[in-house]
Amino acid sequence: MKISRFRKLAIILVFFSIALTLHAQDIVSFEKRITVKKLANGLTIVLMERPEAPVFSFYTRVNAGSVQEVPGITGLAHMFEHMAFKGTQEIGTTNWPAEKVALEKVESAYATYLKEKLKEVGRDEKKVAELEKIWQAAAAAADEYVVPNEFGEIVESQGGVGLNASTDRDETTYFYSFPQNRLELWAYLESERFLEPVMRQFYKERDVVYEERRMSVDSSPQGRLLEQFLRAAFIAHPYGRPVIGWPSDLRAFSATDAANFFKKYYVPANVVVTVVGDVKAAEAMPIIEKYFGRIPARPAPEPLRTQEPPQQALRSVLLRDRSQPLYVEGYHRPDFRDPDDAVYDVLADLLSKGRTSRLYRSLVRDKRIAIAAQGGSFPGTKYPSLFFFFAAPSQGHTAEDIAAPIHEEIEKLKTQDVTDDELQSIKTRAKADLIRGLGNDQGLAFQLGEYQALYGDWRELFRQIDEIEKVTKADIRRVANKTFREENRTVATMETEAPKPKPTEPAKGEQK
What pTM, to 2 d.p., does this model score?
Answer: 0.90
- pLDDT given at position 5: 40
pLDDT in tens, 359-400: 999 999 999 999 999 999 999 999 999 999 999 999 999 999
Domain match, 264 and 409 both: no
Same domain as 470, residue 400: yes
- For residue 276, give the nearest of 173, 178, 191, 151 by alpha carbon: 178
- Do residues 180 and 187 make contact, with C-beta atoms less than 8 angstroms apart? no
pLDDT at 10: 41
Question: What's the alpha-carbon Rg for the chain, to the nearest Å?
Answer: 26
CA 98/CA 409 separation, integer angstroms: 65
Residue 59 forms part of a structural domain: yes
Residue 223 vs residues 75, 213, 230: alpha-carbon distances, Å: 15, 9, 11
Residue 26 gets which letter from DSSP?
A: S
Q: Are residues 140 and 162 in the same domain?
A: no
* Domain co-membership, 387 together with 263: no
**Does residue 370 sit in the same domain as residue 433?**
yes
Residues 377 and 477 both lie in one domain:
yes
Statement: residue 13 has pLDDT above 80: no
CA 372 to chain centre: 22
Q: Using one digit for the tens of pLDDT, what is the confidence trace for 434-465?
A: 888 888 999 999 999 999 999 999 999 999 99
* One domain for residues 340 and 487: yes
Range of the domain at 129: 94-145
Q: Are 372 and 453 contained in the same domain?
A: yes
Q: Are both 457 and 368 inside the same structural domain? A: yes
Question: Which strand (E) or helix (H) includes residue 392?
Answer: strand 385-393
Report the C-alpha gap between 217 and 210 in whole angstroms: 10
Tell me, yes or no, whether 106 and 83 share the same domain.
no
The CATH code of the domain that includes 455 is 3.30.830.10
Domain-located, residue 55:
yes
The pLDDT score that the predictor gives to residue 438 is: 86
Q: Are 59 and 165 in contact (CB under 8 A)?
A: no
d(CA 29, CA 120): 64
Domain count within the chain? 4
Residue 413, domain member (yes or no): yes
Question: Measured in whole angstroms, how far is the alpha carbon of residue 53 from the centre of its chain?
Answer: 29
pLDDT at 3: 39
Residue at 451 is within a domain:
yes
Q: What is the reported pLDDT for 503? A: 67
Q: For residues 72 and 167, state if they share a domain.
A: yes
Within 13-125, strands assigned E span 34-38, 44-49, 55-62
Angle of helix 96-117 versus helix 255-265 axis, rounded to 10:
110
| Judgement on whether residues 264 and 162 belong to the same structural domain of the protein | yes
